[in-house]
Amino acid sequence: MNEREQDGELDPMITEAAKSFDARQAASRENETVRTRVENPLLDRCNELRRMFARVRGLDHETIARSSQLQGVEQDIEGRIVKITRKTAELGQRETEMHNLDRASRMLPGSADYEKVPQMKAEVAGVQSQIESIQVEIEAEQEEIEKQIIEFEVAIKAEAKKKKE
């Protein structure tokens, strides 16, 4: 047994390191939970829209290529899907930020940063408001894309029908 162990100095150091490691692990689990709960369902929906769009786009390449109007709609839909994907990533970042602020705001009284808790709680509320706004924006955009894809499909079929006549 070395001198530090005999004096009991090593035990608190190990305990502190273990606490720090546990805190980092908990934060990592919380961040993963945010991704699972928030980002993944939105990204799944985005991928579903992409598949739907790819199927529709594959209906009649020749007709789409001949029609500048259809090409414009196609590009608009692609742009909207990219925008949703970016907004989803932003939403995940905001959720993580909110959880980190919330966790920090629950500091024990007497800690050095305890006086910042009310400000942190206000920041949490502000981030929560941003999150809700982004979620509404994403849902509205997804609905609009779905409508646009259906209209695109109808337009392709109408153009193809004209071509056959």
CA dihedral 156, 158, 163, 165 (to 10 degrees): 160
CA angle (69 as vertex; 64, 71 as ends), nearest 5 = 45
DSSP string, 36-90: IIIIHHHHHHHHHHHHHHHHHHTS-HHHHHH-HHHHHHHHHHHHHHHHHHHHHHH
Q: How confident is the model at residue 4 (pLDDT cuts 50, 70, 90)?
A: very low
- pTM, rounded to two decimals: 0.55
Query: What CATH number does the domain containing 111 carry?
Result: 1.20.1460
pLDDT at 92 over 70: yes
pLDDT tens profile 98-132:
777 777 777 666 666 667 777 777 877 888 888 88
Domain that holds residue 30: 3-164
Q: Across the chain, what does the average pLDDT equal?
A: 74
**Domain total in the chain:** 1
Which of the two residues, 128 and 13, has the higher pLDDT score?
A: 128
Q: Which amino acid is at 18?
A: A
Exposure string over 142-163, b if 16+ CB within 10 A, otherwise e: beebbebbeebbebbeebeeee
